[in-house]
């Protein structure tokens, strides 16, 4: 990945990782913010510095600090968490793009719909035993079947911020 990260298997460090969202609603006047409390993942850094892996987010774990809204987000109008309990980002390849940037090519699955997603991440920590990647990207919720939009109140694009810390697994 970058200088200092050695090849091998890595596991997502839940305590050092966050996935948050920001979404405009009320015709763009209000920003709803939330974070997912259930995260997991694994990855492998190859000897050439490229990497693969998976990050899984519990769709029912989204917390926006509003119980009524969170219940609605878990319903069939949005994430349908009973049927689709996980949001999965499958990383096909992470390629170094300089000292601190990496290009991440993969696919995002939400509500059973999978779409390609390429993003750029910044490596904020890189050592033999750990790596932290930070990224901001946008997702059009309609592409994943999240089309509920009473009175046109909701924007289509959601911004996602992810800080993902991976630690080397013990052999």
End-to-end CA distance of the chain: 21
For residue range 43-99, list pLDDT tens digits in order.
999 998 889 999 999 999 999 999 999 999 999 999 999 999 999 999 999 988 888
Q: How far apart are CA 163 and CA 123, in angstroms?
A: 10
The per-residue pLDDT for 28 is 62
Of the pLDDT bands very low, low, confident and very high (cuts 50, 70, 90), residue 1 is very low
Dist. CA 97–CA 105, nearest whole Å: 13
Category of 70 on φ-ψ map: left (φ > 0), alpha (ψ -120 to 50) or beta: alpha
Structure tokens, 58: 């519990």
Distance CA 87, CA 21 (A): 13
Residues 6+ apart with CB under 8 A from 81: 59, 60, 74
- Residue positions counted in the chain: 171
**SS3 state of residue 13:** coil
- Residue 156 confidence (pLDDT): 81
| Kind and range of the H or E run holding 71 | helix 67-74
Q: Which range among 12-16, 106-110, 167-171 shows the weakest confidence by mean pLDDT?
A: 167-171
> For residues 28 and 40, what is the distance between their CA atoms, to the nearest angstrom?
32
Residue 155 reports pLDDT greater than 80: no
pLDDT per position as a tens digit, 13-54 = 999 999 999 988 765 678 889 999 999 999 999 998 889 999
Q: Is the pLDDT of residue 108 over 80?
A: yes
Domain map of the chain by residue range?
8-168
DSSP letter string over 133-163?
EEEEEEEEGGGGT----GGG-S-SEEEEEEE
- 154 has a pLDDT exceeding 70: no
Residue pair 39/62 in contact (Cβ under 8 Å)? The answer is no
At which residue do the structure tokens 């029912």 appear?
60
pTM to 2 decimal places? 0.89
Q: Taking residues 147-162, what's their average pLDDT?
A: 78
Q: What is the mean pLDDT of residues 8-14?
A: 95
CATH of 8-168, one of 3.40.50.10860, 3.40.47.10, 2.40.128.110, 3.40.50.720: 2.40.128.110
């Amino acid at each position: 990945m970058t200088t200092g990260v050695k090849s091998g298997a890595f596991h997502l460090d839940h305590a050092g990782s966050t996935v948050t969202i920001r979404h405009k609603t009320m015709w763009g006047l209000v920003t709803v913010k939330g974070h997912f409390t259930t995260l997991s993942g694994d990855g492998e850094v190859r000897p050439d510095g490229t990497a693969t892996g998976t990050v899984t987010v519990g769709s029912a774990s989204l917390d926006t600090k509003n119980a009524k809204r969170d219940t609605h987000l878990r319903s069939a109008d949005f994430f349908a968490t009973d049927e689709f309990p996980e949001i999965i980002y499958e990383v096909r390849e992470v390629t170094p793009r300089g000292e601190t940037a990496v290009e991440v090519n993969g696919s995002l699955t939400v509500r059973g719909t999978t779409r390609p997603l390429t993003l750029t991440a910044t490596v904020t920590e890189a050592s033999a035993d750990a790596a932290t990647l930070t990224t901001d990207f946008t997702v059009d919720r309609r592409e994943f079947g999240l089309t509920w939009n009473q009175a046109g109140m909701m924007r289509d694009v959601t911004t996602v911020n992810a800080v993902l810390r991976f630690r080397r697994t013990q052999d």
